[in-house]
Amino acid sequence: MLDIFRGLKSFIKVSHVQTDSAVFRIHYSVTVLILTAFSLVVTTRQYVGNPINCIHSKDIPEDVVNTFCWIHTTYHVPSALKLKMATMPGGDGGEVIYPGIGRPQRPGDIRYIKYYQWVCFCLFFQAILFYVPRWLWKHWEGGKIHSLLMDMDIGLVAEVEKKQKKKMLLDYLHMNLCHHNWWFYKYFFCELVALANVVGQIFLMDRFFDGEFMTLGLDVIAYSEEDPEDRVDPLIRVFPRMTKCIFRKYGASSNIEVLDVLCILPLNIVNEKLYLFLWFWFLILAGLTMLNTMMRLLLMISPRLRAFFLQVRLRFVSRDAISVIIRRSRIGDWFLLYMLGQNMDPVIFSEVMSDLARRLGHKGKDYSEA
């Protein structure tokens, strides 16, 4: 499985110029890599062998039954999940041969397992959805940060060259002050799309598994704390490993024979672990994205908070100079400056900010005494 991740690493490239937040990068880099790798894993026979193996009579070719049951779905009986399973030979008898394999107790007491045909496609589609916000922002950002850096992310720059580039950057920042809000709002919209996507995908997978995914992680945790005699493994309920399949064929004298075939689903051994991981991953990612969105809203309404974050990055610039910049700028300007500070050499960026504050009317010391 590590080979799959290594092969995909070359396709998921994160630029050395950062134009977004760390949480936003988790969506389009780490999560896309995970979902794409999982999509490949479930299609690789190296890890699960045949995705389905059915018990059949000798007069029916093996591939025929397996293919038929794979295409037309299998089923299990939910009411039989709680029945006692037969023990070893010589022990006490049981009611079923395996959890979920039994006779329906009432009409509708059958759950068809039809998702496994679509798992690889669904995972790949989810990966595409996670990359959409990144694609939008990459298009709207248009390489602005990279252009303004002018290779000043490297500390070793000739003094004459550094002075010329600093002047060009200062001229741009001064002339375009208060004109970056729309640019920032586009980024904020992409963050909202990322939040809506991860929350929406949780509901999408819940629908995909007929309402069983939303509480999957909680059910697994609760299962470990229940009485072994009474508990039902939620992973077997959602990802059954043995199911049944109805196969019809013509027998002697053209009479119709109905065969109730038992099928083993090795693929679900992999599916249950992948989706249990995704349950926790999506929950954590949704929480981090919500916190990031709340922080972004606070930054939009609080100049003091913007000044604090800028002060953390600019430790050598006086607070008065930063206050002047915050008072004369807007949220879009702050975001641009913060992104530049995230990529630019700290010393050069501090010099740029001190010069900008002086252009905006700051007459105090350029650097903090701290």
pLDDT digits (tens, 9 = 90+) for 259-300: 888 888 888 888 899 999 999 999 999 999 999 999 999 999
Reply yes or no on whether the pLDDT at 165 is more than 60.
yes
Residues with Cβ within 8 Å of 350's Cβ and at least 6 positions away in sequence, in order, are 314, 315, 316, 317, 367
CA distance 333 to 356: 12
Reply yes or no on whether the pLDDT at 91 is more than 80.
no
pLDDT band at 87 (very low <50, low <70, confident <90, very high): low
Reply yes or no on whether the pLDDT at 368 is more than 50.
no
Q: pLDDT at position 321, please?
A: 84
Q: pLDDT at position 86, please?
A: 64
129-133 contacts at long range (C-beta below 8 A, 24 or more positions apart): 129/197, 129/201, 130/27, 130/28, 130/31, 130/32, 130/35, 130/194, 130/197, 130/198, 130/201, 131/28, 131/32, 132/193, 132/197, 133/24, 133/27, 133/28, 133/190, 133/191, 133/193, 133/194, 133/197
**Bridge partner residues of 111 (DSSP):** 76
Phi and psi, residue 317, nearest 5°: -105, 135
Angstrom distances, CA of residue 234 to CA of 38, 123, 231: 21, 21, 9
> How confident is the prediction for the chain on average, in pLDDT?
83
Q: pLDDT at position 15, please?
A: 67
Among the ranges 4-13, 61-70, 176-185, which has the highest mean pLDDT value?
176-185
Q: Which fold has domain 2-73+114-142+185-297?
A: de novo design (two linked rop proteins) (1.20.1440)
Percent of the chain at pLDDT > 70 equals: 85
Domain ranges of the chain: 2-73+114-142+185-297
Q: pLDDT at position 187, please?
A: 95
Reply yes or no on whether the pLDDT at 36 is more than 80.
yes
pLDDT band at 47 (very low <50, low <70, confident <90, very high): low
58 vs 160, more confident:
160
Q: pLDDT at position 367, please?
A: 47
CA distance 247 to 74: 10
Reply yes or no on whether the pLDDT at 164 is more than 70.
yes
Lowest mean pLDDT among 89-93, 159-163, 197-201, 234-238: 89-93
Reply yes or no on whether the pLDDT at 94 is more than 70.
no
Contact 338, 295 (CB under 8 A): no
Per-position DSSP letters for 219-262, written without gaps between them: HHHHHTTS-TTT---HHHHHS-SEEEEEEEEE-GGG-EEEEEEE
Mean pLDDT calculated for residue range 222-245: 78
Sign of the alpha-carbon dihedral angle for 357, 140, 129, 204: positive
Q: pLDDT at position 124, please?
A: 92
Closest CA to 353 of 182, 158, 152: 152
Sign of the alpha-carbon dihedral angle for 305, 306, 312, 317: negative
pLDDT in tens, 106-138: 777 888 888 888 888 999 999 999 999 999 999
- Around Cβ 206, how many Cβ atoms within 10 Å? 15
Per-position DSSP letters for 21-51, written without gaps between them: -HHHHIIIIIIHHHHHHHHHHTT-HHHHSSS
pLDDT band at 369 (very low <50, low <70, confident <90, very high): very low
Q: What's the pTM?
A: 0.85
Mean pLDDT calculated for residue range 305-317: 83
CA distance 239 to 156: 57
Lowest mean pLDDT among 148-152, 203-207, 213-217, 337-341: 148-152
Reply yes or no on whether the pLDDT at 89 is more than 70.
no
Mean pLDDT calculated for residue range 315-340: 88
